[in-house]
Amino acid sequence: MTSFDELVRHFERFPGIGPRQARRFVYHLLTEDPQSLRALADAIADVQAKVTECAHCFRYFARDNGNTLCEICNDANRNHELLMVVERDSDIPPIERSGIYDGYYFVLGGTVPLLEPQENIKLRGGALKGIAEMRAKEGLAEVILAFSVNPDGENTARYVGTLLKETEEKNIKISTLGRGLSTGSELEYADPETIKNALKNRT
């Protein structure tokens, strides 16, 4: 296998990238100057050492001074009553940018596909239960489920709802984002107005 093909293989493993796009990436790299390529290679080599998962919400953050919590979980001024469960890290920036949510987050790590047997599920359900119980002692009143508006997202909401009912905390309200989000839409691509409406109309 040539180094060209090898790089194509690497890019093909990225989410949403097919063979044609992977080849375009490699052609693009061939036109870059050696300095930028070196910077890219260094950044890739460093990323796992410098970026780590937050111990509470599991989003990735830049590790410095041995911090175990990200800047959101570390911020005591956020609303302790709210915890929003999202599928992926990339769902958080658009919500933060909308500026209307000031509670905490939890990154579940994916969805529960409707047609997948439950035992294949590798999500952070156990960790979520632990965090909900911990946050309940700090005033948590509501868990907001913010999953994609599609059958898998709805199935995930059922799964998480059941999990949370197993906790000791019976007084936590469980809500889901309202239908301001159109069917099939993903949070990651939602605009601030849509997020605002979805939060306002949560049920």
Least distance between Zn ion and beta carbon 83 (Å) = 11
Q: Examine residue 84 and tell whether it contacts Zn ion (CB under 5 A).
A: no
39/55 with CB nearer Zn ion:
55
What does DSSP assign to residue 27?
H
For the CB of residue 174, give the shortest distance to Zn ion in the complex, in Å. 21
Min CB(107)–Zn ion separation in Å: 8
Is position 73 an interface residue for Zn ion (rule: CB under 5 A)? yes
CB of 60 to Zn ion, least distance (A): 9
Token representation of residue 31: 């036109």
Dump the DSSP string for 70-104: -TTTT-TTS-TTEEEEESSGGGHHHHHHHT---SE
- Scan residues 121-140 and list those touching Zn ion (CB under 5 A): none
Determine contact, residues 83/104, Cβ cutoff 8 Å: yes
Out of 57, 83, 108, 187, the only residue in the binding site for Zn ion (CB under 5 A) is: 57
Provide, rounded to whole angstroms, the least separation between the CB of residue 130 and Zn ion: 14
Are the CB atoms for 108 and 124 separated by under 8 Å? yes
Residue 100 and residue 193 in contact, taking contact as beta carbons nearer than 8 Å:
no
Residues 141-170 that bind Zn ion (CB under 5 A): none
The interface region with Zn ion, picked from 15-23, 49-57, 167-175, 195-203 by CB under 5 A, is: 49-57
Dihedral sign for Cα atoms in the order 203, 190, 195, 180: negative
The sign of the dihedral angle between the CA atoms of 122, 159, 108, 188 is: positive
DSSP 32: S
Nearer to Zn ion, 57 or 187 (CB): 57
The contact set with Zn ion (CB under 5 A) reads 54, 56-57, 70, 73
